[in-house]
Amino acid sequence: MEKQDKLEIIHKYFDDLSETQLQQLGMLDELYNDWNQKINVISRKDIEALYEKHVLHSLAISVICPFDKGARILDIGTGGGFPGIPLAIFYPECEWVLADSIGKKIKVVQEVAAAIGLKNVTAIHTRAEDLKGRYTFDYAVSRAVAPLADLWRWGAPLINKGQKGEELPNGLVCLKGGDLREEIEHTGMKRIVQAWSVHDIFPEPSFEEKYVVYVPKLT
């Protein structure tokens, strides 16, 4: 399948991408397939659906929370670079820090970012909770890494009050799946947590029961 064909799922929902963004997105397929042969960063069954299940899924965050120029965003537990790499392509004028506790995954992120010419990404081999006192951010993002209560416990001390996005005040924006009721209840912040169906944003079968979840930084 040609790169252009594989990008059709992206073109379906985004028709205003620059030539640079299209080139960077187009390079991801070969890069991740190559790295997946060395380090299993994406499940074997999902690698053929990279653009739908990983890239487009990551970009659901951009629909719910468009970021302002100059925003600083942390990707907690980025793994092989999701959602951070696709979002960094979409927001070249934002600063992205992609953190993960597994060094070989950060190596993949560094190599992919360098190969596609992303100048706005810093990949750090660390746990998010160890960044306290070293970095601050406007937003934190994450994808299927840990329970919401843990993500908030790690991310909240790093997030500044204010608003560096078009729609939502600073906070945590993460991608979650399944029944979220108990998970949201465990945060103790049920009244302020918001969730949107990814399937409503991108009506593809693979996004059923997947959600964008947001917790604002209020204090």
| Ligand-binding site membership of 82 (annotated) | yes
| Ligand-binding site membership of 204 (annotated) | no
Alpha helices in the chain (DSSP H): 3-6, 8-11, 19-38, 57-64, 84-90, 103-116, 148-155, 181-187, 198-201
| Ligand-binding site membership of 52 (annotated) | no
Residue 1 has pLDDT above 50, yes or no: no
| Ligand-binding site membership of 67 (annotated) | no
pTM tops 0.85, yes or no: yes
Q: What tens digit of pLDDT does each residue of 102-150 get?
A: 999 999 999 999 999 999 999 999 999 999 989 999 999 999 889 999 9
Residue with tokens 């010419």: 117
Taking the C-alpha atoms of residue 207 and residue 54, their distance in angstroms, rounded to an integer, is: 11
List the domains of the chain with CATH numbers.
Answer: 3-216 (3.40.50.150)
Residue 3 has pLDDT above 80, yes or no: no
Neighbours of 218 (CB within 10 A): 11
| Ligand-binding site membership of 129 (annotated) | yes
Taking the C-alpha atoms of residue 104 and residue 79, their distance in angstroms, rounded to an integer, is: 9
Question: CB burial class (10 A; 0-12, 13-18, 19+) of residue 219?
Answer: exposed
